[in-house]
Amino acid sequence: MDLFKFAAGQNFPSGSLFLVPTPIGNLADMTIRGLYILNQVDVIACEDKRHSANFLKAYGISKPLYALHEHNEKAASAHILEKLSQGERWAYISDAGTPGISDPGAILVETIKQAGFNVFPLPGPSAVVTAISGSGDFLKYGDGGFQFLGFLPTKANQRDAVIQRAQQAGVSSFFYEAPHRIESSLKAIAQLLEKDRKILIAKELTKVFEEIHVISIADLPGWMGSVKNWQGEFVIGIEGQPPTKSPSAFDENTKNWIHAIGDKVGHKELSEIVSAVTGISKKDAYKELMEIKKK
């Protein structure tokens, strides 16, 4: 079966940049469209030429490579823009995953788009999305929403500030962490978060020794003691803060002081005061006030 026939009719204009995600560990996760684009473009820009040469060799793809990484992205982007202006088609791949997502590529895309040229992003592998899809009900707080905060900072005080930010969020928060920092980051999480909060730890996603664990902070030290190998890239998730239940009706004490000042303040103003003091929503406060007025 010629699978490339599904990609052959795709839009492929000259003077365009194609962002091609690459597998995060399992070579079988490369998309048909991604392979087709890499076979068709004039040049492939990449984060690391040696890494990408081996990656492309696995698929039998031979193309000129041009290095674009975090240390030269601005200058390299200008070079690629010049080549696109001459009608060439380029692809960009990072070492693993989707370009521009905690990887180089954002400056390149901005440069190309500002100049009025086409940028075509392809869907593909993403470690954070893969971890979330295998996490069960980890997104139960926040109506399925989540926030991705990239790599945790290397400095301890900045890292702890980000962890505390995640602790206060109403949605689950996800980070990437390197193997040489994962232990210290998990210890910080264990110290900063309440014991009943859940945490997700995923490593080696899509690979042979893939692991996805969801445990409470109380169980985290024991789990860490059982780990024999910290190698591999990690995704960490911190469960969102449960929503606080606000009251929807007045208690007797509240009703008493409402009766005492009710004739001196308008219902709209009084409902705002009641809401601020009791935590009841303005809508519910106004409704309760109207019920009291009827009595």
Do 121 and 9 lie in a common domain? Answer: yes
Pure H helices in the chain: 32-40, 49-58, 73-85, 106-114, 127-133, 156-168, 182-192, 220-226, 252-261, 267-278, 282-294
Identify the domain boundary among 125, 151, 173.
125
Do 114 and 28 lie in a common domain? Answer: yes
Distance (Å, whole) CA 189 – CA 77: 38
pLDDT by residue for the chain (295 residues), tens digit each? 588 888 888 889 999 999 999 999 999 999 999 999 999 999 999 999 999 999 999 999 999 999 999 999 999 999 999 999 999 999 999 999 999 999 999 999 999 999 999 999 999 999 999 999 999 999 998 888 999 999 999 999 999 999 999 999 999 999 999 999 999 999 999 999 999 999 999 999 999 999 999 999 999 999 999 999 999 999 999 999 987 665 556 667 767 766 666 666 676 777 777 777 766 777 776 676 666 666 5
Distance (Å, whole) CA 88 – CA 125: 26
Largest Cα span, the chain = 83
Contacts of 176 (CB under 8 A, 6+ apart): 102, 127, 128, 150, 151, 152, 233, 234, 235, 236
The verdict on residue 247 lying in a domain is no
The verdict on residue 270 lying in a domain is yes
The verdict on residue 50 lying in a domain is yes
Domains in the chain, number: 3
The verdict on residue 246 lying in a domain is no
Expressed as residue numbers, the domain containing 274 is 252-294
Do 148 and 94 lie in a common domain? Answer: no
Identify the domain boundary among 83, 101, 125.
125
How many other CB atoms are there within 10 angstroms of residue 167's CB atom? 17
Do 14 and 115 lie in a common domain? Answer: yes
pLDDT tens by residue, 219-228? 999 999 999 9
pLDDT score, position 231: 92
Distance (Å, whole) CA 195 – CA 272: 36
- The amino acid occupying position 128 is V
Q: What is the three-class DSSP state of 123?
A: coil
| CATH code for position 85 | 3.40.1010.10
The verdict on residue 273 lying in a domain is yes
The verdict on residue 243 lying in a domain is no
Are 268 and 227 in contact, with CB atoms under 8 Å apart? no
Do 208 and 139 lie in a common domain? Answer: yes
The verdict on residue 244 lying in a domain is no
pLDDT score, position 295: 59
Antiparallel, parallel or unpaired: β 172-177 and 234-238? antiparallel
